[in-house]
Structure 1
Amino acid sequence: MNRALRLAAPVALAAASALVLAGCAGGGSPAESTAPAAAGECMDLSPGSASDGVTADGAFGEAPNATFETPVETDELQRSILIEGEGDPTEPGDAVDVVLTMYSATSGEQLISQPASLGVGESSLLTAFRAAVDCVPIGTRTATVAPAADVYGDQGNDSIGVGPGEAVVIVADVTGITEEPAPAETSEWTENVPEVTFNGTEPPTVVIPDTEASPELLLKVLEEGDGETVGAGDQVSVRYQGLNWDTKEIFDQSYPGDPATFGTDQVIAGFGAALVGQKVGTKLIVTIPPEFGYGTDPAAHQLGGQTLVFVVEIEGTTAA
């Protein structure tokens, strides 16, 4: 899956995953120069001249404007507290909401800024991102200067502009504890169901009616398969097309190429719920309200606040 869906659509990991997960960065996991903390313990982190040299203006919880002398050269992970919060400290095992902003340590250019939810102490995160949120009070803004070994290593990350062997500067606003979302459960879709015409491996034709989108997560099986049943966490292969209910425009699809493969637990809640319990060979359509998609805030994601429609053909499943 190397289409826009990797950054935009709900049938892939959220954008933050390609940024912060070790397995998604630049085609491989970098070697780590900083030993991870033992399970349940805080990391051993200290400020240094590089991280103390970072300043960041701007309202807390919004993309800051960071300044520092370039190039930043460091062989050690450093973290300084720019704003100390007054909330409870984050603890290993917490999931926290954070606004992440990354800068090139070479040019000082802002590379990316986005909200994310990170697991404190989560071993699958790159070391630098674990450090940014580790054991700090809610309401804290941190500045982390990370050598290449603690982010993308000798490979870099071309997708966001980090060169091979390049250090980065990360400013993180830890805004709160991530609330557990309501479980996604589909209901049968009986009214105002779009008309769907399948065209083999070519994109299907979908006609969305001129009505208001439903606030519910609704699903209609268009053709029931007779293969294996998709279980929670399974790796599934599907052909899909995603549309915006209001604009009726396609924002992403796997047609006419090969099927896309991903885990049912690696996608937005509404899409995963539509797959689990269905049989291979099934063709379905699902409408996903914002709370089971990319959230209700349009500023948080380019698909935020939008009702999404997906036509899906399930072609295979592998048990977790």
Structure 2
Amino acid sequence: MRSPKFRLLGLAVAPLIFLSACGSDGDADNASQTAAGDDAAATSIAPNGTVEDVTLTEADVEGSTVPALELAKTPLSVAETSVQEIEAGEGETTTAEQDVELRYLAVNGTTGEEILSTFPTDETVVMSLSNPNLLPGFLNGLVGTKPGQSMILAMSPQDAFGAAGNAQLGIGPNDTVIFYVEVVKATTPLTQAEGEAVEPVEGLPTVEADGTSPATITIPEGEEPPSELVVQPLIKGEGAEIQAGQQVRMQYTGVQWSDGELFDTSLQEGREAFETVIGAGQVIQGWDEGLVGQTVGSRVLLVIPPAMGYGAAQEDGPGYELKDETLVFVVDILAAQ
């Protein structure tokens, strides 16, 4: 049976502007978003334009020239999501299973105000087109694009944040959201560990894993749990090393050392690969310390003493029932950005 306790210590880190409202954050969050949307509804208007009412211009930000968007009218509202291509791309078209790396600028069509932009810092973000929580406008608008392609995307309210709006971004329930997007590249992410097998270490739990179902982890009989964190690669991936602060996508299985009982796994029907920031205090300490420095494509065995797991968990808090347990995880590192 799925336990949510581990996942509650992770944080969904896909950029907020890309994600639709969902119930996992609790009724209180949804209520606050709805309330903010009600306030903004008074300024919403009936559809009165198209993506052709948006022009790509330039702005000066601290001495650097960056893209900007100019609206022919404010407020601007579109009935259907539409695209205005600025430059054509080259190469293979992206598919719904790929990750797309891009730069973007977002503007609220109702107010004309900029919401977010990656251009002043020349950053890129990676969006998983297989993520069902993406805004519908992105799920439909980015499949079929090519590296080097740039476009203006006018996203209708129903393809953006819909009735919930997004209070944190100042977006109401009837706001059109306008994006300027530059596609950098698309990649097909790993679905399981891939690399060179590493010789098992005597005295550690043994692992049978196929990458598609929960790993079978066998605790060595008669062995006391280690008092220090153990990090043992089982497969050495050929990808880049994980750096603290990166967003990492993983599949994992976790069992208790005391009896080998499974307490959580991402490899379960209906669940997606787990994504979080590593090395930033958003997951338990054993993950933060154990996964930094490992490589993409690796399968890693983590044996985590209570003090680096849930030892400090409060009663009725996430992981409290595991506070005295040494935890054993098998983690497949699929991607990092």
TM-score, L = length of structure 2: 0.48
For 1:56, the equivalent position in structure 2 comes to 56
CA contact (8 A) 2:68 2:105 kept: no
- Matches of 2:188 and 2:279, distance apart in 1: 17
User: Among residues 7, 19, 22, which one is paired with 1:21 in the alignment?
Assistant: 19
- Matches of 1:268 and 1:184, distance apart in 2: 21
1:45-104 CA deviation, whole Å, 9 max, x = no partner? xxx962123233469xx9632222222121111111112112322223222112232111
- Matches of 1:97 and 1:74, distance apart in 2: 26
Question: Could you tell me which amino acid in structure 2 is paired with residue 103 of structure 1?
Answer: V
For 2:100, the equivalent position in structure 1 comes to 96
Matched, 1:233 2:266: yes
SS in 2 for 1:170: strand
- Seen in structure 2, the aligned counterparts of structure 1 residues 292 and 231 have a Cα distance that, compared at 3 Å, is farther
Question: Which structure 2 residue ranges, 5 or more long, are not aligned?
Answer: 1-8, 24-28, 35-47, 60-64, 119-123, 202-240, 244-255, 297-306, 311-318, 323-337
Shift of 1:269: 6.6
Shift of 1:121: 6.6
For 1:289, the equivalent position in structure 2 comes to 292
Pairing of 1:1-320 with structure 2 (within 5 A): 11-16=10-15, 18-24=16-22, 27=30, 50-57=50-57, 64-69=67-72, 70-114=74-118, 115-120=124-129, 123-178=132-187, 180=189, 183=193, 228-233=261-266, 265-268=274-277, 286-289=289-292, 311-313=308-310, 314-315=319-320
Q: CA RMSD in A?
A: 4.7
SS in 2 for 1:286: helix
- Seen in structure 2, the aligned counterparts of structure 1 residues 283 and 109 have a Cα distance that, compared at 3 Å, is closer
SS in 1 for 2:309: strand
% identical aligned pairs:
18
For 2:300, the equivalent position in structure 1 comes to none
- Matches of 1:269 and 1:285, distance apart in 2: 5
- Matches of 2:287 and 2:128, distance apart in 1: 33
Question: Could you tell me which amino acid in structure 2 is paired with residue 76 of structure 1?
Answer: E
SS in 2 for 1:52: helix
Question: Could you tell me which amino acid in structure 1 is paired with residue 141 of structure 2?
Answer: A
CA contact (8 A) 1:132 1:143 kept: no
- Matches of 2:66 and 2:139, distance apart in 1: 19
- Matches of 1:164 and 1:263, distance apart in 2: 28
SS in 1 for 2:107: strand
CA contact (8 A) 2:21 2:166 kept: no
TM-score, L = length of structure 1: 0.50
SS in 1 for 2:152: strand
Question: Which structure 1 residue ranges, 5 or more long, are not aligned?
Answer: 1-9, 31-47, 189-214, 218-222, 236-261, 276-281, 294-309
- Matches of 1:95 and 1:216, distance apart in 2: 18
- Seen in structure 2, the aligned counterparts of structure 1 residues 53 and 154 have a Cα distance that, compared at 3 Å, is same
Count, aligned residues:
208
Question: Could you tell me which amino acid in structure 2 is paired with residue 128 of structure 1?
Answer: G
CA contact (8 A) 2:96 2:129 kept: yes
Shift of 1:141: 1.1
Question: Could you tell me which amino acid in structure 1 is paired with residue 266 of structure 2?
Answer: G
CA contact (8 A) 1:270 1:292 kept: no
SS in 2 for 1:169: strand
Shift of 1:290: 6.9
- Seen in structure 2, the aligned counterparts of structure 1 residues 137 and 263 have a Cα distance that, compared at 3 Å, is closer
Q: Which has the larger radius of gyration?
A: 2
Question: Could you tell me which amino acid in structure 2 is paired with residue 53 of structure 1?
Answer: D
For 1:306, the equivalent position in structure 2 comes to none
Shift of 1:288: 4.4
- Matches of 1:55 and 1:316, distance apart in 2: 56
- Seen in structure 2, the aligned counterparts of structure 1 residues 164 and 292 have a Cα distance that, compared at 3 Å, is farther
- Matches of 1:86 and 1:228, distance apart in 2: 50
For 1:258, the equivalent position in structure 2 comes to none
Shift of 1:13: 0.9
SS in 1 for 2:275: coil
- Matches of 1:146 and 1:171, distance apart in 2: 11
SS in 2 for 1:137: coil
1:236-257 CA deviation, whole Å, 9 max, x = no partner? xxxxxxxxxxxxxxxxxxxxxx
For 2:252, the equivalent position in structure 1 comes to none
**Larger fraction in helix:** 2
- Matches of 2:277 and 2:179, distance apart in 1: 26
Question: Could you tell me which amino acid in structure 2 is paired with residue 55 of structure 1?
Answer: T
- Matches of 1:316 and 1:63, distance apart in 2: 51
- Seen in structure 2, the aligned counterparts of structure 1 residues 93 and 149 have a Cα distance that, compared at 3 Å, is same
SS in 2 for 1:138: coil
- Seen in structure 2, the aligned counterparts of structure 1 residues 285 and 57 have a Cα distance that, compared at 3 Å, is closer
